[in-house]
Each structure stands twice: as structure tokens, then as C-alpha cells.
Structure 1
Amino acid sequence: MSLSPAAPVRRRRALPAAVRGYLLLVPPLAWLVIAYLGSMAVLLVSAFWSVDSFTGKVVHVSTTGNFLAVVQDSLFRTVTLRTVGVALAVTVIDAVLAVPIALFIAKIAGRRMRLVLLVAVTTPLWASYLVKAYAWRGLFAPGGPLDWVTGGHMIGYGLSATIVTLAYLWLPYMILPLAAAFGRVPDSMWEASADLGASGLTTLRRVAAPLVFPGLAAGSIFTFSLSLGDYIAVTIVGGKAQLLGNVIYGQLVTANDQPLAAALSFVPLVVVLIYLLALRATGALEQETR
């Protein structure tokens, strides 16, 4: 009895590694397009609608009146400048506080102490946002702990309290990128600078600063954008002060003017884009992605 040769087994041709990698990106990119870009498209379309003054209902008729109001109204311009100023102040305060902490974590602390400090930095992120905001409200309250410590010379509720509260809330987002950036600076560069007679501050300014600037830029994106859009902390500790988030929330909930609120929502978006372009011009974003 003769045996026929076995039929050859056909193997499926494997997809190239690059194709498989791109296929893995399909689900998150699809979610990004649908959830984020789709919502932004709806927001843009609704910004061209208007509200009937008699019925109070949204009229789906295209108009540029909302964007003209955002540009021409002096109140909106004042609130925008105030919001940008608060966001910049928070970013500067966090940068000043984060640099020595990040430097100590990355280059001075031992392994165990570094772990303890990293846990201490991230622990506030585990607590509720509202709990932390209301804790600061209690501190700033008349007759509160800070009022007693300063002998009645407290700043009270307002822009100053808002800046302090936001700086505390977003400080971890500045420390962590800076600590990672300091950790990437070789120890040999610090030693070489010291051997050449440079002081610690000179080494930090001339040697380390250019190398850690991308980490500083990354942290500033968090602190600036989060401060720019915040309205809850401003409502809790800001007193009568208004920022863009409060105005947008007021137009949406109190005034029931969704189209104007949608048009105002593009103001912080444009400001953040300008900020990102400014950082890109410095080359920090390209260095961070390498």
C-alpha cells in the first residue's frame, strides 16, 4: 500500500510589526476622536446658535453674535486677563516651590527617603478635590487657624486665596516631571562643574537648568491649563472674584445661555494653544519627547 505525500501546511502570513502597532492604537484613537473631538465639534456648532429672548429656548440659527460678544464685551476681556494672570502666578509659584523639592528627591535623598518623599508628594492626589478646597476655606475663614497665627492679618477670600489654593492643588503635577528631569542629569556633570570651581547655584543655573527645562515645561502645562479652567476652588475660596470657569458656569446654569457659554469655552482653549506654541518655540516640547 503506497502512502501519498502529506499536503503542505499553509501558514498565515504574520502582519508586520509596524502594522500591528498601529492596530493597537485604533481603539484609543477612535475613542479620542469620538469622545473628545466629537464633543468639541458639537461645542463649536452650538456656539453659533442663539437663545430666544421671549421663550428662553435655544434657536438653531447660525449667528456670530456670541463670538462678537466674547471679543467686544469689556467684562469678558477683564475676566480673561485676570484668569491668565492667576494661571501664570500659580505656575510660577509651583515652579519656585518644586525646583528644590525635585532636586532633593532626585539627587540628594537616599533610596528609602526618595520613596518616602515621592509618596508624600503624591498622597494629596489621593484625597478628594473638594475636601482639599474646603480645607483651605477653613484655613482662610475669619477666626480660622491662619487668622489666629497672623494676628488677624489674614488675606481672606479672594484672588490671593484662590492663587494659594490652586498652587497647593497642582504642586504635585510640577514636582513629578521636574524630579524625573533632574534624575536624568548625569552625576558626572555636577562633579565636573564643581571641579571647575562653580558653586551649587551656578551649576544649577548654567548646567542643570537647560537640561531640566523640558520637565519644567511639562509641569507648567499641567499647572497652567488646570488653573485656567478651574471654577470650583474659585467658588469656594475666591469670594467675589470671577475667573473664566465661573463665568462659563454662570452663563450655562444661571443665565441658561448655552450658546454664549460654548463660545466662552473656546477662550481658554485658545489661550492654552498659544501657551503650547510658545513652549514649542523654545524647543522644550521637542526635547521632552526624545
Structure 2
Amino acid sequence: MKITSLSLGALGALVVYIALRLSKGFALASIADVYILFMIAALLIYIPAGDKGKKGSLLVLGTLIFFILLELVRPLIPRSLLNVYNFFILVTVLLYFTSKDEGARDLMAPIKATLVGSENRTFRTALFAVVPLFAALITFNIVRPSYEAPGDTRSIHPAPPSSVNVFNKSYNLLTLKNPLRDDAANYAKYVKEGGEVYFKNCFYCHGDKLDGKGHYYHGVNPKPLPFMGTDTIAQLSESFVFWRVATGGPGLPKEGAPWLSAMPIWEHFLTEEEVWKVSMFIYDYSGNKPRTF
């Protein structure tokens, strides 16, 4: 049996690919592991074919190089899309190899020789032993139950009620606006006073940089909400912020369950005006404006 350089290259590429998968937590439970199964089967067929298995070994080598590059380089497009591209490339190469009867015979002869021939009994035995075992391991790891805790399905920003009762008043959250925001003459004063309220009460969790990483950041679950950026506070109306600050974690609706939030009911500690002022400070400091509808 003559082992060609292409076969050796494909075998080496398979070893490298498996080593890369091992370094990233080889779990035998993903589509990448199914590819390994096919590569092993192909090599068990084309290696003993010698020169007649060059085309098959070339296909395996090209595919493995593609997957090795995927492990080494972070692609700019989704991996699933790259897999689709790889599939069509393989199909195109197969069509080219089998476009002539001679090419089709060269590609299929090693498969026929391994499966029904009398010369390659050792490789046939290995093929029928290794491939089903590998497939069984992949199937087992995919379907076995997980002992990890179920994911948290709570809504971070649940829909507010139409009205809320706080500070001994009833507020319509659909029409509620900050009564201090339109006072341009005192705007800076209100923001400054709101900052004082924030640093006396809020920064322990939400951080002195409003990044959600205050002193108690590591001790609460869920983590405090960061206010910087455009993906949190900028997406909320000021009436929503007023409602959440005033009612705290216990004021969350059903879709906000489980009620794990450490946010206290601030209407018990702050005045209505202080809540509006701290809201103005948060928006001003983060460079955002309340969302309007």
C-alpha cells in the first residue's frame, strides 16, 4: 500500500483540526464534530487507495484547511453562511471531478474497493468500527440532558402599566412628563441636585461612571443597569424611568419575574421631585435624551 503525500497532508490536517477543537472544548456535540466524522471516514477510504485516492484526499485536505482557517481566524460573516459557501464549493469540485467518466471512476473506485474489495479488510474493519462509534458519541452528547440551570427568561425592560400609584398619587404613565425639564432657567441646578441624590443613593450599584459597576456590582443578580451608551436609558421614556425608580424591584410586573432585582422602592426614601431630578442627571451625564413617542 502506497500512501501519497496528499493523503499524509490530509491526515496531518485532520490531526491539527482535532487539536484546535480540543483546545476550545471538544464536546462532540456540534456540526463541526460531524464534519470530523466524515473526514475520518473519507481518509479511511482514500488513504489505502494510494494514487487512485488522490482526488478524494485533495477534497478532504481542502475541506480541512477551510475548517482550520475558521478556527484560527474570526470570520467577518456568520459561520453558518461560510458553511453554505463551503458546501457549494465542494459540490462544484465534485461536479468537476465527475464531469468525465474517468474522473468519476477515479473518485468512486476507492469507495467501492474499501466497502466490497478483499484487499482492504483492515481499513474496512476500522471504518465500520470507528465511524459508528464516533457517530454514537456525537448523538449521545447532543441528546443527553444538561445539568446546567435553566436560562433566565425575565424581561429586563417589561412593559409599564398604564397607570401607577406612588407618592400618594395616581399617574398616567402614557401622558406623564417630567415637570422640571421645561424649566430651562433652572435646568443646570436640577441636574446638579439630581447628581447629589444619585451619589448619595444610586452609585453604590450603578457606579460613579454610570456604567453599572458600583461597589455592590458583584453581589447582586441581575446586575445593575448601566446608563452609558445608547442601548439602555436612551431607549426608555422618562415616565418609564420615573416608574422604575419609584417602585423598584418589588414593583416589577409579572413579565419581570423572577423578582430578583435589588432595586429598593425609592418612593419610601426620595421625594417625587428628587426622582425627577435624578432622572435628569442620568440623562444629562450619559449624553442621552428621554425617548419620546
Measured against the shorter chain, the TM-score band is under 0.3
More helix by share: 1
TM-score by length of 2: 0.19
Q: Which has the higher contact order (CA 8 A, sep 6+)?
A: 1
TM-score by length of 1: 0.19
